[in-house]
Amino acid sequence: MRYLESIEERKRTRALWEEIFPEDSASFLDYYYEEKALENEILVEEAGDEIVSMVQWNPYSLWVNGRLWDSRYLIAVATKPEYRRQKRMAKLLTQGMRDLASKEMPFVWLMPAKAEIYLPFDFRYVYQKWEGDLPAGSGGEGLSVVSLAREDFAAAACFLERELEERFSVFPERSEEYLQRLQKEVASEGGGLAALLQGEELVGIFSYWPGEGNMEIRELIVDGRFLPDFLRLNQPQTAETMRRIDSLAAAIRDYFQKSGFGGAVKGEISVVNTGWLGQEKPAIMARICNFAAFVKEIRSWGPKTVVLQVQDELIPENNGVFRWELTSTDSRLIPSPGETPELALTIGELTEWLLGGDAPEGYSEIIPPKGCFFSEIV
> Looking at the domain assignment, is residue 359 inside a domain?
yes
Buried b (16+ CB within 10 A) or exposed e, 148-180: beeebbeebbebbbebbeebbbbbbbbbeebbe
Element (H, E) at 126: strand 124-133
Residue-level pLDDT at 235: 57
Residue-level pLDDT at 117: 94
Is 257 found in the same domain as 144? yes
Q: What is the pLDDT of residues 186-231, one digit of tens each?
A: 999 999 999 999 888 999 999 998 876 678 888 888 887 777 655 5
Q: How many residues does the chain have?
A: 378
CATH number, residue 30: 3.40.630.30
Is 192 found in the same domain as 94? no
- Please check the confidence at residue 276 and state whether its pLDDT lies above 90: no
pTM score of the predicted model: 0.91
Residue-level pLDDT at 256: 87
Q: What is the pLDDT of residues 222-250, one digit of tens each?
A: 887 777 655 554 556 667 677 777 888 88
**Percent of the chain's residues with pLDDT above 70:** 92
Is 300 found in the same domain as 270? no
CA 107/CA 101 separation, integer angstroms:
8
| DSSP state letter for 260 | T
Q: What is the pLDDT of residues 322-358, one digit of tens each?
A: 999 999 998 999 999 989 999 999 999 999 999 988 9
Contacts of 252-260 with CB under 8 Å at 24 or more apart are: 252/134, 252/137, 252/145, 252/194, 252/196, 252/206, 252/217, 253/134, 253/136, 253/137, 254/144, 254/145, 255/144, 255/145, 255/146, 255/194, 256/215, 259/147
Residue-level pLDDT at 238: 67
- Domain total of the chain: 3
Is 214 found in the same domain as 305? no
Residues spanned by the domain of 322: 290-367
CATH number, residue 322: 3.30.1050.10
Q: What is the pLDDT of residues 44-80, one digit of tens each?
A: 999 988 999 999 999 999 999 889 999 999 999 999 9
CB of 245 closer than 8 Å to CB of 238: no
DSSP string, 218-239: EEEEE-GGGS-HHHHTSS---H
Is 158 found in the same domain as 253? yes
CB of 89 closer than 8 Å to CB of 76: no
CB of 128 closer than 8 Å to CB of 271: no
Residue 114 sits at φ, ψ, to 5 deg, of: -140, 120
Q: What is the pLDDT of residues 102-112, one digit of tens each?
A: 999 999 999 99
CA 21/CA 34 separation, integer angstroms:
18
